[in-house]
Amino acid sequence: MRMRGINTTKTIDLLAWSRAYHRHTVFPVSDFQRFSIAVYQVYQGMKWPQGCPSKHESFAAVALHSMMVAEAHEVDVWEHLPKDLLDVPQDFSWKTLLLCLTGAQQMVFYKMNQRSARSKRYKPNILAGLLADMIKHAVMMVPKGRLEDSLFDAMEVMCGELKVRT
């Protein structure tokens, strides 16, 4: 199945695209690696200068990879997100993003180590809320007028299909 980007900010469509990509990608990775890619995209987004399309694409990729982590862990982020990502409130906080990243990382780690005593600490409902907050904070870093294009660009990069856009 050949994946391509879609032009949308509708949460249900983005979750469906992320589910399909997670299941049918030609670049399969583990759940923890997928989460690590999302974290790396935060670093990439912070590195680019303000207003740079690559900065916006990096933060859009954080949202998409977080959706894929939710899919891999079969947790429902839908109930924690608005129907359209354009409706995410603009109250960004680096502290909150860091708390969400580290909390979600712990939950993913606990799930990975299911045979240990720590696996009892894995709480899918907590992971869903943390991933949803990561998605919201990533979206807040992209200007609303660039969100759809940035999500599309991130998808096209993941699919190896990015074309120059005018």
Q: What is the domain range of residue 105?
A: 11-159
Collapsed DSSP state (helix, strand, coil) of residue 54: helix
pTM for the full predicted model: 0.92
pLDDT at 115: 67
Q: What value, to the nearest 5°, has the Cα angle with vertex 129 and ends 125 and 131?
A: 115
Inside any domain, residue 5: no
| Residue 141 DSSP symbol | T
SS3 of residue 10 by DSSP: strand
pLDDT of residue 164: 47
Dihedral over alpha carbons 137, 69, 64, 18 (to 10 degrees): -150
pLDDT at 1: 61
Model pLDDT, residue 163: 58
- 3: its two tokens: 């994946």
Q: What is the rounded distance in angstroms from the CA atom of residue 63 to the CA atom of residue 17?
A: 12
Residue 79 domain-assigned?
Answer: yes
| pLDDT string in tens for the chain (166-residue length) | 678 899 999 999 999 999 999 888 878 898 899 999 999 999 999 999 998 999 999 999 999 999 999 999 999 999 999 999 999 998 889 999 999 999 999 999 988 887 665 667 889 999 999 999 999 999 999 999 999 999 999 999 998 876 544 3
Is 166 inside a domain boundary? no
Number of domains observed in the structure of the chain: 1
Quick check: is 113 in a domain? yes
Question: Quick check: is 83 in a domain?
Answer: yes
